[in-house]
Structure 1
Amino acid sequence: MVDIPPGCVELSDRRTQRSWSVEVGAFRLAAVSVTQSQYAQVTGQWPSGTRGDRLPVDSVSWSDAIRFCNALSERVGLTPAYRIVAGEEEVDQIGSADGFRLPTEAEWEYACRAGTTTGPRYGQIAEIAWYRANSGGRVHEVGTQQPNAWGLYDMLGNVWEWCWDIYDPDVYRSYRVLRGGGWFDEHWSCRASVRRRSHPTLQIDDVGFRIARSTPP
């Protein structure tokens, strides 16, 4: 995992024409999305339609990602970050836990930008992302494009990544945030600022996730 320094990020939403600043504390973020082999080692499951050890796991819901984080934490002796109640309809984050978790969307965009504050991407899209123009209509192995300045791969393209946040509870209720764009998306969806949302039970072949950990104070 990569150590991400503290800082500030400006988020925006095209639907509401709103922007807001978020202070981000130091945390750790996986250099690549969770792979199919990693997911299988922890859960015993291979949900992806196209199988490959180094392919990012896809067709996993937000709820699946939450359960994976807790299972991986327990596997390595860390305190799980989530308390799952009400038949998985309600999930509470345990702030004091040292286990694995999903990044917040502010953490995700801050890490994606890797110190840059302008422009839609951290590099030339064809060199950093698998998207519709260069993916050949399929997902690709993680870490095969150029990383950003902080050593994070595939922050844009390949698979969308679940974040912890609820997108807009007043309008979309329990829908959670997705970031990054995927292998089937046009270039305008593979930008650091793009927000997408979906129901936490969604399972589709261009959505995966990467894991984070809080840095002890």
Structure 2
Amino acid sequence: MGVSAEQGMTEVPPGHVTLSDRRTRRSWVVELAPFRMAVYPVTQALYAEVTGRRPSSAQGSRLPVEGVSWRDAVRFCNGLSRAHGFASAYRLEAGGEGVGWDTAAGGYRLPTEAEWEYACRAGTSGPRYGPLDDIAWYRGNSDERIHDVGGKQPNPWGLYDMLGNAWEWCWDLYDPEVYGSYRVLRGGGWFDEHWSCRASVRRRSHPTFRVEDVGFRLAQSVVD
């Protein structure tokens, strides 16, 4: 099993990003340590290699896996970590909803919302890291279908499909005061209008829901 061959991880330098909440009209700066981010979203081939399952509506080895819940993504991260000899990043409560994150573990995990936006922007300051038609599959150019990963131009840090094609799960709770356990989605998808495919756009979903335009991307902490 080779995530380096199937996915590829790139080093993301330390830095900071400003996040905002439209409901509370609050903005805050998050300082980030260096981490690793997958060059592509998790593909159906890699997901099947680890789990033996192909849950996606559209089938294709290099298509992003979709139709996976947040909890599915967490379990996948642990499974791939075990296969590669890394300590699992997540602790799953038996029969319960709780998931804990061991931040000292070197295993694969979901990016935090701050890591995701920082990596998406890749040092750029606008709503997107390039012209939308050049970098993303969205409603205006997708023929209303999902596409193989890597078909559009990457951002300046070599990350593909950060915008468009499939929304991506992040670790964070969306707004616990209002939405409880709902988790953050980022990036926009193949059926979304152009205004949803921006670095700052947030969406939410319940951690057990499986949606046909929602997948995920791997991150990994840099540990001693």
Are the counterparts in 2 of residues 13 and 195 from structure 1 also a CA contact under 8 Å?
A: no
1:4 matched to 2:15:
no
List runs of 5+ in structure 1 lacking aligned partners.
Answer: none
Distance 1:15 1:34 in 2: 31
Give the 4+ runs in structure 1 shifted more than 3 A. Answer: none
Distance 1:179 1:149 in 2: 18
1:162 matched to 2:169:
yes
SS in 2 for 1:123: coil
Which residue of 173, 177, 192 maps to 2:199?
A: 192
Deviation by residue 1:174-204 (Cα, 9 ceiling, x = unmatched): 0000000000000000000001111001101
Counterpart position of 2:92 = 84
1:119 matched to 2:126:
yes
Amino acid at match of 1:8: H
Deviation by residue 1:28-57 (Cα, 9 ceiling, x = unmatched): 000000000000000000000110000000
Deviation by residue 1:111-154 (Cα, 9 ceiling, x = unmatched): 000011x2100000000000000000000000010000000000
Amino acid at match of 1:84: L
Distance 1:179 1:113 in 2: 12
Are the counterparts in 1 of residues 110 and 219 from structure 2 also a CA contact under 8 Å?
A: yes
Shift of 1:15: 3.0
Distance 2:180 2:196 in 1: 23
* Paired-residue identity, %: 67
Per the normalisation by structure 1, the TM-score is 0.98
Which residue of 69, 75, 83 maps to 1:61?
A: 69
Distance 1:59 1:11 in 2: 27
Distance 1:167 1:70 in 2: 22
Shift of 1:14: 2.4
Shift of 1:17: 2.0
Which residue of 4, 27, 45 maps to 1:37?
A: 45
Distance 1:146 1:15 in 2: 33
Distance 2:127 2:21 in 1: 14
Are the counterparts in 2 of residues 160 and 180 from structure 1 also a CA contact under 8 Å?
A: yes
Shift of 1:96: 1.4
Counterpart position of 2:31 = 23
Per the normalisation by structure 2, the TM-score is 0.95
List runs of 5+ in structure 2 lacking aligned partners.
Answer: 1-8
Are the counterparts in 2 of residues 62 and 162 from structure 1 also a CA contact under 8 Å?
A: yes
Distance 1:54 1:95 in 2: 30
1:174 matched to 2:176:
no
